[in-house]
């Protein structure tokens, strides 16, 4: 099935990811990372629960669960997302488009910044969800100290928009979450991702 025809359904987990056109950098500095996260708050958080994320210099990963329509559709029209059929996909597209426009303006460039369309994979089991959370957090070499992923938000007590309680419940507790992240992900799991 073509990606554009795959609609995101409420209360299901998805791995959302995308990379720069030709694998080029899309985040050049901390300001870019922070600006993108600000756009995430505006365009994703009203409509999705976020379980994990990682922003890398040339790509990003999110694990999200679309909220029920009654929760998410209140501000739908305010953001210019008119088609209910593509509601959640359009919110993600709006995030990418908004960031791209700002990036292009600042760096005097034109055209797409990210590959189109963004990639999405339905997460169909709890084991897959746990492994994917670990995989996403382990993207950076020094993931335990990396500022632009949800790993630190999950293990801290600071206020966060990440679904910390639900994530820790998947791993039983914070101690096990940390221990599981110390192990390498099975090589076959990574190959199956087809990123």
User: pLDDT tens for residues 61-114?
Assistant: 999 999 986 454 555 555 555 555 578 999 999 999 999 999 999 999 999 999
Instruction: Give Cα separations from 86 to 4, 31, 56, 76, 102 (angstroms).
Output: 9, 31, 27, 11, 24
- pTM for this structure? 0.88
C-alpha distances (whole Å) from 91 to each of 40, 43, 95, 135, 179 are 10, 6, 6, 25, 35
185: DSSP letter:
P
Q: Return the sign of the alpha-carbon dihedral for residues 150, 118, 28, 23.
A: positive
- Is residue 120 within a helix (H) or strand (E), and if so which, with residue range? strand 119-123
pLDDT bucket at 17, cuts 50 / 70 / 90: very high
Question: What is the radius of gyration, based on Cα positions, of the chain?
Answer: 16
Of 3.40.50.970, 3.40.50.300, 3.30.70.330, 3.30.70.1290, the CATH number of 8-193 is 3.30.70.1290
Q: How many CA atoms lie within 13 A of 48 on its CB side?
A: 28
Domain regions of the chain by residue span: 8-193
Compute φ and ψ for 66, nearest 5 degrees: -60, 135
CA distance 87 to 91: 6
């Amino acid at each position: 099935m073509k990606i554009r025809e795959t609609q995101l359904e409420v209360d299901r987990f998805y791995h959302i990811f995308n990379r720069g056109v030709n694998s080029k950098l899309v985040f050049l500095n901390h300001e870019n990372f922070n600006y993108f996260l600000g756009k995430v708050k505006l365009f994703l958080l009203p409509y999705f629960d976020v379980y994990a994320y990682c922003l890398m210099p040339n790509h990003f990963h999110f694990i999200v669960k679309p909220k029920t329509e009654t929760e998410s559709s209140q501000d739908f029209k305010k953001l210019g997302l008119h088609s209910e059929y593509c509601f959640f996909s359009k919110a993600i597209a709006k995030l990418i488009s908004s960031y791209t426009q700002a990036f292009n303006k600042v760096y005097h460039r034109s055209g797409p910044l990210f590959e189109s369309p963004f990639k999405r994979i339905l997460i169909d089991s709890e084991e897959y969800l746990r492994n994917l959370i670990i995989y996403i957090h382990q993207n950076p070499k020094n993931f335990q100290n990396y500022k632009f992923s949800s790993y630190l938000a999950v293990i801290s007590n600071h206020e966060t928009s990440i679904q910390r309680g639900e994530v820790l419940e998947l791993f039983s507790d914070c101690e096990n979450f940390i221990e599981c992240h110390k192990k390498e992900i099975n090589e076959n799991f990574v190959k199956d991702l087809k990123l």
